[in-house]
Amino acid sequence: MENDLVIPQHIAIIMDGNGRWAAKRSLERCEGHRMGAEALKNLIESMKDLPGVKYMSFYAFSTENWKRSEEEVSALMHLLVEFLDANLALFMENDLKLLVTGRLEGMPEEPRIKLKEAVNKTKDNQGPCVIIALNYGGRSEIADAAKAIARKVAKGELDAESIDEKLFAEYLYNPQVPDPDLLIRTSGELRLSNFLLWEISYSEIYVTDTLWPDFDKNELMEAIKAFNKRSRRFGGR
Ligand code: FPP
């Protein structure tokens, strides 16, 4: 790895283009997702070669993705279970911690239980953190935080006047995770698709035409190099 690069501590990725990857090869969409899961595994494995990256967030299933066909939703859920079964050892060997962001309670029972087990098994690992967004929506996250705050105010446990950005952020799904420095989207679409709306306020955005199943460590390095050319001012000068 290039020595003089600033490595973003939190990289968030919108993994897009599995369907197009499959269509280009006249395969079923689910085959694209299968290869997407493989790309995800390879990237997680490569985190050991990227010291400095402390968190990676991956958008795997949005609150809107339930609108896809029953067949595709069920294939994705099945793939998630397989992914957890096949890769828990990888998390343990590499000392990686798994976190989930999203409305976990709205997930089907089998993946929900597997996710809870994997999060629990890796909770004392000291290495980088992999965050998988499932049944996740940025607006839902903000609404859920607002609801939790409103309940406290109603119970008299919180003074409404004390609500500011810092306090609000403490009610997001993973308040201990710093905001992403870099947001990557594959497959060329210029959209945020309801991902981490609060947290990406000052993230640098990098879009590549590469379809997710083809995204690898070299592509990630290209994104990190592009990130190094940006001048981050956070609204200042
Ligand atoms: C977007 O591609 C991808 C998804 C909606 C799902 C992301 C899932 C994976 C990368 C694999 C499985 C993940 C886990 C955690 C096992 P798309 O279907 O929207 O592609 P398209 O825009 O080309 O149709």
Backbone angles phi, psi at 138, to 5 degrees: -60, -40
Report which ligand 1 atom has the smallest distance to the Cα of 37. Answer: 11
- For residue 2, the model assigns a pLDDT of 60
Residue 211 counted as domain residue: yes
Distance 158 CA to ligand 1 centre (A): 40
Report which ligand 1 atom has the smallest distance to the Cα of 76. Answer: 12
In this structure, what CATH number is given to the domain that contains residue 21?
3.40.1180.10
Residue 235 counted as domain residue: no
Question: By alpha-carbon position, which residue is closest to atom 8 of ligand 1?
Answer: 60
Instruction: Report how far apart the first and last C-alpha atoms of the chain are (Å, whole number).
Output: 31
Q: Output the six-digit token pair for 198.
A: 């609060």
Please answer whether residues 130 and 58 qualify as being in contact, where contact means their C-beta atoms are separated by less than 8 angstroms.
yes
Question: By alpha-carbon position, which residue is closest to atom 12 of ligand 1?
Answer: 37
Q: How far is Cα 23 from Cα 186, in angstroms, rounded to an integer?
A: 16
- For residue 234, the model assigns a pLDDT of 79
Q: How far is Cα 70 from Cα 87, in angstroms, rounded to an integer?
A: 25
65 assigned to active site: yes
Is the Cβ atom of 111 under 6 angstroms away from ligand 1? no
Residue 60 counted as domain residue: yes
Residue 206 counted as domain residue: yes
What is the residue-level pLDDT of the chain in tens, covering all 237 positions?
A: 566 889 999 999 999 999 999 999 999 999 999 999 999 999 999 999 998 999 999 999 999 999 999 999 999 999 999 999 999 999 999 999 999 999 999 999 999 999 999 999 999 999 999 999 999 999 999 999 999 999 999 999 999 999 999 999 999 999 999 999 999 999 999 999 999 999 999 999 999 999 999 999 999 999 999 999 987 777 887
Residue 144 counted as domain residue: no
Please answer whether residues 191 and 169 qualify as being in contact, where contact means their C-beta atoms are separated by less than 8 angstroms.
no
Residue 59 counted as domain residue: yes
Q: In the chain, how many domains are there? A: 1
Distance 15 CA to ligand 1 centre (A): 6
What residues make up the domain containing 121? 10-137+179-227
Distance 17 CA to ligand 1 centre (A): 7
Residue 125 counted as domain residue: yes
Report which ligand 1 atom has the smallest distance to the Cα of 21. Answer: 23
16 assigned to active site: yes
Catalytic residue among 65, 125, 174, 228: 65
Residue 170 counted as domain residue: no
Q: Output the six-digit token pair for 30.
A: 């689910």
Catalytic residue among 3, 4, 16, 216: 16
